[in-house]
Amino acid sequence: MPRLRSSTFSLVFLLSALLFVLGSSAAWYVRHLYQDLSTMLELNVASVRSAEELEIVLREMHARLAKIDEIPTAKDLEEIESLRSDTDHWLNEASRLATTGRERDLMARVNAGYEDYKKSMDAYLVDLQRGHPEVDAPQKIGRILTEDIIPPAHEYLDYNELTMISVAQSHLVFSNRFSWLLLGMGIVGSFGGFFAGLKASRRLRRSMVELNLPLSLAAGRLSEVVGPVRLSTSLDLEELKRVLEAMAGEVDKVVVRLQKSQEEVLRSEKLAAVGQLAAGTAHEIRNPLMSIKLLVQAALNDPDNSALDEGDYRLIVQEICRLEKTVQNLLDFAKPPLIERQRVGIESVISYCLSLISGRASIQNVSIKKDIKARALEVEADSQQLQQVLLNLFINALDAMPEGGQMTLVVEEADTSQVKVSLKDSGSGIPETILPQMFEPFVSSKESGIGLGLSISQKIIEAHHGAMFAHNRPSGGSTVGFSIPLANAGIVRS
């Protein structure tokens, strides 16, 4: 079915894309052509109007000059001057609208003749003022109008009228072509849709036949789980819909059963975790209680000499402390204490913790080496919780070297925003079976212990926006440590 949908979609998409490209191209072409036609028509109409007005003014000016017999009257001169102003206006307008080479050539001839006219007219007016004008001067000036100005102006008018006719004919030709184009697109779209539908129906039929076998296999497998699922050997759309709906209902039943099974598995895992916690806790509590019980029973069995000496009392206090530590670990794991952040130097916290375990390290012949590669590093953290993490790492390292060895503490700046604390020991290393889960609760390589120390430490470091790490060293022993942000790293407090 996905292949059917993909091929059908591709075919329809290609056909739609083709029609879209054709339609878009036609629309763009129509818009572009109409803009050109509109511009040309607008320009030609304005050119025709200016040419007509110019020719009218020139002919009227010629008529005024033809009426002058010998000496023009003041009224004649006033009318000629008024017509001259109109001629200047329309001549400038026609020259501005001349865009083609032919139009510019014609307007150049008109302007040259008009310049001759103005010079002759100005000379005639000067002669009038002096009192000895030429009698045939108006006729000569009129011949300039009829021979040098009016013919090219009229030709300019004819040229623009012919251009308008050509534009109209081009518009008609385009309309016919565009009509055929739309008709062709309609035919292509219709046949394309028909063949696409025909091909899609064939592919659908073939895919339904191909789908019959997997549906039969799926129905058979469902029958083993939820009962018989009927499936026809020849599927049509209605039958396919009915089968799929039936199978969907059966799949829902299977999903519900799977969810119930997952809930049961999760419940079993929780019970197993609780059992593991109970077993480890019982082991941790039973040993101190057994020691205390033996001392008390020994005193009860010999009433005459029942006094406990100082060593016995020390042992009882020691075992009570073990019980208290076990209970505290359980409380810390269930609900870690709130973080009380303050700016503290990481070296001061490390020095304090080393002072607490240095006595035991000396007894076990374990040498301690400090490698401080970056000084004066400060973190914004809960110093007591960091002490808890470091003490847990130190004690684990000492437990791994009961016959002595070397413990190396490395403090370095991981990058500009992190401080990295690594504790290396020369013990036997971490078992490969435990290494991937060593930060999970109830995981421990020690015979005694419930495996909560590193889990609690990881929670503390993560609450400080840091991370813990652990790996075995190629030369022997292991490396366990953590990295947390520096005080100036800009970490958002949670």
pLDDT tens string, the chain, 494 residues long: the values are: 455 455 555 666 676 777 677 667 766 766 766 666 667 666 667 777 777 887 888 888 778 777 776 677 777 777 777 887 888 888 888 888 888 888 888 888 888 888 888 888 888 788 777 777 777 777 888 788 888 888 888 888 888 888 778 777 777 777 777 777 777 777 876 776 677 777 777 776 666 655 555 655 555 555 555 555 555 555 566 766 676 777 677 677 777 777 887 777 777 666 666 666 666 666 567 666 766 777 777 777 776 665 667 777 777 777 787 677 767 766 666 666 678 889 999 999 999 999 988 888 999 999 999 998 877 789 999 988 999 899 989 999 998 898 999 999 999 988 778 999 999 999 888 888 888 888 887 777 776 666 778 888 899 999 999 999 999 999 889 999 999 999 876 544 43
Which of 149, 177, 196 lies at the terminal end of a domain, its last residue? 196
pLDDT of residue 335: 64
Cβ-based neighbour number of residue 353 at 10 Å: 21
Is residue 188 in a domain? Answer: yes
Instruction: Give which of 473, 483, 329 is closest to 392, Cα–Cα.
Output: 329
Give the domain extent around 417.
336-485
In this structure, what CATH number is given to the domain that contains residue 381?
A: 3.30.565.10
Q: What is the rounded distance in angstroms from the CA atom of residue 398 to the CA atom of residue 367? A: 10
Q: What is the rounded distance in angstroms from the CA atom of residue 443 to the CA atom of residue 455? A: 9
Is residue 279 in a domain? Answer: no
Q: What is the rounded distance in angstroms from the CA atom of residue 267 to the CA atom of residue 270? A: 5
Helix (H, G, I), strand (E, B) or coil at 68: coil
Q: Quick one: 347 exposed, middle or buried, by C-beta within 10 A (0-12, 13-18, 19+)?
A: middle
- 330: tokens are 């359980």
Is residue 304 in a domain? Answer: no
Q: What is the rounded distance in angstroms from the CA atom of residue 417 to the CA atom of residue 246? A: 59
Report field, pTM of the whole predicted structure over 0.75: no
CB 117 within 8 A of CB 145: yes
DSSP assignment string, 98-157:
--SHHHHHHHHHHHHHHHHHHHHHHHHHHHHHHT---TTHHHHHHHHIIIIIHHHHHHHH
- 209: tokens are 């036949």
CB 163 within 8 A of CB 46: no
The total of structural domains in the chain comes to 2
Name the phi and psi angles at 174, rounded to 5: -65, -40
**Which H helix or E strand runs over 3?**
helix 2-67
pLDDT of residue 494: 39
Q: Which residue has the tokens 């100036």?
A: 488
Q: Rounded to a whole number, what is the distance in angstroms from the first to the last CA of the chain?
A: 49
Is residue 106 in a domain? Answer: yes
Q: What is the rounded distance in angstroms from the CA atom of residue 249 to the CA atom of residue 472? A: 53
CB 83 within 8 A of CB 55: no
Which of 146, 161, 196 lies at the terminal end of a domain, its last residue? 196
In this structure, what CATH number is given to the domain that contains residue 78?
A: 1.20.120.240
Helix (H, G, I), strand (E, B) or coil at 241: helix
Q: What is the rounded distance in angstroms from the CA atom of residue 123 to the CA atom of residue 129? A: 10
Q: What is the rounded distance in angstroms from the CA atom of residue 437 to the CA atom of residue 58? A: 108
> Taking each helix axis from N to C terminus, what angle separates 137-144 and 2-67, rounded to the nearest 10 degrees?
170
**Which H helix or E strand runs over 308?**
none
Q: Which residue has the tokens 């029609």?
A: 19
Is residue 274 in a domain? Answer: no
User: What's the number of CA atoms in the CB half-sphere (13 Å) around residue 363?
Assistant: 8
Bridge-partner residues for 433, per DSSP?
none
Which of 144, 171, 196 lies at the terminal end of a domain, its last residue? 196
Q: What is the rounded distance in angstroms from the CA atom of residue 51 to the CA atom of residue 108? A: 14
Bridge-partner residues for 420, per DSSP?
412, 483
Is residue 363 in a domain? Answer: yes
Q: What is the rounded distance in angstroms from the CA atom of residue 284 to the CA atom of residue 278? A: 10
* CA-based radius of gyration for the chain: 54
Instruction: Give which of 476, 480, 361, 473 is closest to 428, Cα–Cα.
Output: 476
Q: Look up residue 119 and give its amino acid.
A: K
Is residue 370 in a domain? Answer: yes
